[in-house]
């Protein structure tokens, strides 16, 4: 069985042609990332069959949805679609809104209404009418409705962009849980890098209708020639396992490839797995390990690559442990003053650590 999605569309838009030919993994979250107007929504609409591209090839695993001379109409495509604005039926309560998607397909959902309600934290809202829900609750119901339609693919078009900062923060953990539980692929459109870091397994960067880069997120973040490493909030992701909790100081210690990372608070039981994001501009480099610093996270690293990200700054790709790599952003002057070169063994002082998902 061919477990991937082949997404190939060419269609002229107002100022450029959308011209995409990509293979997407059949599970996990693929983020379409790019500036406003680059064609992200149009690409989702092509997949859903709502925009008919002139040239197209769309295969979902072994099923052909579209190719020369064949076009599976939108209503027969098993797609769950979540829009920026949660568009619930105002005259139906939450349960009826949720079931609307299920009735449309007359099939058993991948997950039951109960399971989906629990997963999205809306079990207590089932009898409510939409006008009595907050923006975040409405969007969670809209996501639930999309899932109950028994989709083979979930398309999410900037599902958080209409929500304020704190509502976004409230909803992200639910999306992360979904990501863990769902076996179907999710194509997620955003131009917020924070959502990319917490959600994406795979990333496709779009610019004026063309794919400028794509690949597994972890690798793409470390590719110094790819656009992500040039962003002001560039960083890297490493896998971590809770190894110790210091009750006196309320600090959780994680074991990572090549060392330990300590973060404030009680994060989880010993053995809990997390993904840690290390912000490149919050990492400084020293030749000797400082013993008079307040920074708690100091990791031995080796320089693999140095790239001038701007006239003032350089990105440094570093080997951590056997199999991990991280990114540091330093000034070009520091690089020259320390005469840093490839192969140098250094110590990375890590100030900014954020936990992103299980
Ligand atoms: N049916 C259409 N025919 C011609 N041009 C279109 C059509 N739909 C969208 N466009 C244009 O194509 C470009 C891409 O639009 P699209 O909505 O796909 O971008 P986007 O990356 O999703 O943007 P945003 O992040 O702002 O939502 C825009 O310039 C838009 O005006």
DSSP 53-92: -SEEEEEETTEEEEETTEE--GGGS-EEEE-SS----TTS
SS3 content of the chain, % helix, strand, coil (to 5): 25, 40, 35
Other CB atoms within 10 Å distance of the CB of residue 205: 21
User: Where in the sequence is the domain holding 10, given as residue range(s)?
Assistant: 4-232
Whether residue 268 sits in one domain with residue 254: yes
Ligand 1 within 6 A of CB of 55: no
Whether residue 286 sits in one domain with residue 155: no
How far is 103 from 111, CA to CA, in rounded Å? 14
Q: Given this model, what pLDDT does residue 128 score?
A: 95
Q: What is the CATH number of the domain that holds 173?
A: 3.40.50.300
Whether residue 171 sits in one domain with residue 219: yes
The series of mean pLDDT values per 10 residues for the chain, 358 residues long, is 87 94 92 92 95 93 92 92 89 92 54 86 93 91 88 91 80 79 88 82 94 93 90 90 95 95 91 89 93 90 94 96 96 96 96 66
Ligand 1 within 6 A of CB of 15: yes
Residue nearest to atom 25 of ligand 1 (CA): 36
Ligand 1 within 6 A of CB of 45: no
* Boundary-marking domain end, from 207, 232, 257: 232
Whether residue 295 sits in one domain with residue 169: no
Q: Given this model, what pLDDT does residue 356 score?
A: 65
Instruction: State the distance from the centre of ligand 1 to the C-alpha of 310, rounded, in angstroms.
Output: 31
How far is 50 from 108, CA to CA, in rounded Å? 24
How far is 265 from 140, CA to CA, in rounded Å? 28
Q: Given this model, what pLDDT does residue 94 score?
A: 94
Instruction: State the distance from the centre of ligand 1 to the C-alpha of 53, rounded, in angstroms.
Output: 13
Ligand 1 within 6 A of CB of 14: yes
Q: Given this model, what pLDDT does residue 304 score?
A: 98
* Nearest atom, ligand 1, residue 12 CA: 4
Ligand 1 within 6 A of CB of 91: no
Whether residue 64 sits in one domain with residue 157: yes
Residue nearest to atom 17 of ligand 1 (CA): 41
Provide the number of structural domains found in the chain. Answer: 2
Q: Given this model, what pLDDT does residue 235 score?
A: 92
Ligand 1 within 6 A of CB of 192: no
232 contacts: CB under 8 Å, gap ≥ 6: 281
Question: Which of the listed residues 17, 35, 42 should we mutate to test ligand 1's pocket, taking the one with most ligand atoms within 8 A of CB?
Answer: 42
* Boundary-marking domain end, from 232, 253, 287: 232
Ligand 1 within 6 A of CB of 131: no
How far is 351 from 74, CA to CA, in rounded Å? 49
Identify which of 332, 151, 322 has the alpha carbon closest to the alpha carbon of residue 238: 322
Ligand 1 within 6 A of CB of 146: no
Residue nearest to atom 20 of ligand 1 (CA): 37
What are the Cα distances from residue 254, in Å, to 8, 237, 275, 297, 349?
A: 42, 14, 10, 11, 16
Whether residue 96 sits in one domain with residue 34: yes
ipTM: 0.91
Ligand 1 within 6 A of CB of 190: no
* Nearest atom, ligand 1, residue 42 CA: 18
How far is 310 from 125, CA to CA, in rounded Å? 50
Q: Given this model, what pLDDT does residue 333 score?
A: 97
Whether residue 186 sits in one domain with residue 70: yes
């Amino acid at each position: 069985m061919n477990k991937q999605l082949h997404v190939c569309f060419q269609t002229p838009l107002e100022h450029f042609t959308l011209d995409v030919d990509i293979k997407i993994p059949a599970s996990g979250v693929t983020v379409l990332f790019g500036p406003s107007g680059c064609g992200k929504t149009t690409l989702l609409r092509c997949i859903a069959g709502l925009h008919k591209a002139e040239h197209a090839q769309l295969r979902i695993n072994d099923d052909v949805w579209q190719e020369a001379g064949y076009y599976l109409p939108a209503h027969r495509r098993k797609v769950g679609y979540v829009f920026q604005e949660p568009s619930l039926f105002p005259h139906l309560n939450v349960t009826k809104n949720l079931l609307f998607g299920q009735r449309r397909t007359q099939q058993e959902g991948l997950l039951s209404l109960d399971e989906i309600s629990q997963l999205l934290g809306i079990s207590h809202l089932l009898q409510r009418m939409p006008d009595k829900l907050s923006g975040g609750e409405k969007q969670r119901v809209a996501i639930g409705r999309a899932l109950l339609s028994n989709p083979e693919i979930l398309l999410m078009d900037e599902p958080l962009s209409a929500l304020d900062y704190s509502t976004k923060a409230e909803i992200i953990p639910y999306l992360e849980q979904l990501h863990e539980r769902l076996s179907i692929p999710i194509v997620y459109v955003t131009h917020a890098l924070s959502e990319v870091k917490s959600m994406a397994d795979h990333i496709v960067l779009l610019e004026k209708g063309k794919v400028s880069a794509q690949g597994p997120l972890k690798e793409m973040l470390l590719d110094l020639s790819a656009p992500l490493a040039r962003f002001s909030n560039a960083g890297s992701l490493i896998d971590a396992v809770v190894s110790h909790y210091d009750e006196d100081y309320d600090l959780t210690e994680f074991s990572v490839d090549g060392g330990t990372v300590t973060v404030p608070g009680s994060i989880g039981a010993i053995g809990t797995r997390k993904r840690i994001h290390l912000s490149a501009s919050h990492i400084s480099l020293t030749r000797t390990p400082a013993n008079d610093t307040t920074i708690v996270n100091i990791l031995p690293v080796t320089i693999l690559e140095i790239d001038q990200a701007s006239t003032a700054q350089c990105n440094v790709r570093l080997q951590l442990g056997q199999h991990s790599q991280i990114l540091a952003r330093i000034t070009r002057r520091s690089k020259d003053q320390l005469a840093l070169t490839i192969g140098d063994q250094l110590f990375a002082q890590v100030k900014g650590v954020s936990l992103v998902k299980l």
